[in-house]
């Protein structure tokens, strides 16, 4: 995974929110947390309790006196706010922002995301220090999220983007999903042999049963190799020697 962004909380007021943010970060594999002037000081018992162990696993939180110092070594900076301010600054959804972040991170840049105070968010001066603003598009009538929940949503988008694991993965080795013709051939052969061996005792049920059998194997979506094995099974059950 490319370099994870650094999350920077600006003057957070509640230790609980710091702890919950740390937990959300580590959930998403983001481990570098910086804090500018935490209101109730640092370390914070409430933050540690709320982090559920995350703060013990993550590298020590770095504390700064002002935002400029906190972002001094960073190359690309994003700010976050519920409502886009009147400022000439790209406003991005988290998805667009993390796409951008991954590009910068692949360039070995240090990326920072600034989060504001619970009560008043980030000031315009602080937002002006960033290259772009991330606004999470929730209900426009009620768009202010809890600090840690905003951190989670952005962290999660980063994880989804940076983690190239496909959502569903079936390692297939050298085989490939069977073509519909190969699937149909083996099903037709099975039906014919079942007919010959008196499996379909009630004529009216025959079509429905055929359908059920096909559905059952359809769900398995056999590979070309598995279809060959299936042919082999039928041959063996018929008492014929396998070639």
Binding stretches for ligand SAH (CB under 6 A): 80-82, 115-116, 118, 120-122, 134-136, 138, 143-145, 147, 150
Closest approach of ligand SAH to the CB of residue 150, in Å = 4
Residues 6+ apart with CB under 8 A from 29: 1, 4, 159, 163
3-state SS assignment for residue 235: helix
Closest approach of ligand SAH to the CB of residue 83, in Å = 6
Q: Which of 214, 164, 220 is nearest to 194 (CA)?
A: 214
Q: Which is nearer to ligand SAH, 151 or 178 (CB)?
A: 151
Q: Which is nearer to ligand SAH, 28 or 178 (CB)?
A: 28
Q: Which is nearer to ligand SAH, 122 or 190 (CB)?
A: 122
Closest approach of ligand SAH to the CB of residue 41, in Å = 20
Q: Which is nearer to ligand SAH, 118 or 224 (CB)?
A: 118
Is the CB of residue 68 less than 8 Å from the CB of residue 130? no
Q: Which is nearer to ligand SAH, 160 or 213 (CB)?
A: 160
Angle at 118 between CA 143 and CA 102, to 5 degrees: 70
Closest approach of ligand SAH to the CB of residue 219, in Å = 41
Residue 241: CB atoms within 10 Å: 6
Closest approach of ligand SAH to the CB of residue 134, in Å = 6
Q: What are the residues facing 7 on neighbouring strands?
A: 33, 113
Cα first-last separation, the chain: 49
Show the DSSP H helices in 28-86 as ranges. Answer: 45-50, 54-57, 67-70
């Amino acid at each position: 995974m490319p370099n994870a962004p650094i999350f920077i909380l600006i003057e957070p007021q509640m230790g609980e929110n710091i702890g919950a943010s740390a937990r959300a970060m580590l959930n998403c594999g983001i481990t570098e947390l910086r804090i500018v002037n935490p209101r109730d000081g640092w370390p914070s018992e409430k933050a540690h309790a709320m982090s559920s162990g995350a703060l013990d696993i993550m590298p020590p939180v770095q504390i700064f006196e002002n935002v400029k110092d906190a972002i001094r070594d960073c190359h690309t900076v994003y700010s976050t706010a519920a409502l886009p301010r009147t400022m000439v600054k790209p406003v991005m959804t988290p998805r667009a922002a993390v796409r951008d972040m991954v590009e910068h991170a692949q360039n070995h840049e240090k990326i920072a995301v600034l989060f504001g105070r619970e009560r008043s968010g980030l000031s315009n001066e602080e937002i002006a220090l960033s290259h772009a603003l991330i606004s999470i598009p929730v209900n426009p009538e009620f768009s202010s999220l809890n600090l840690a929940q905003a951190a989670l949503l952005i962290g999660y988008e980063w994880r989804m983007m940076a983690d190239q694991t496909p959502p569903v993965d079936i390692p297939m080795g050298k085989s490939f999903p069977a073509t519909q013709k190969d699937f149909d051939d083996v099903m037709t052969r099975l039906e014919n042999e079942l007919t010959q061996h008196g499996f379909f005792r009630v004529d009216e049920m025959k079509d429905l049963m055929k359908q059920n059998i096909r559905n059952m194997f359809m769900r398995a979506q056999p590979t070309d190799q598995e279809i060959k094995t299936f042919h082999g099974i039928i041959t063996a059950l018929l008492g014929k020697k396998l070639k």
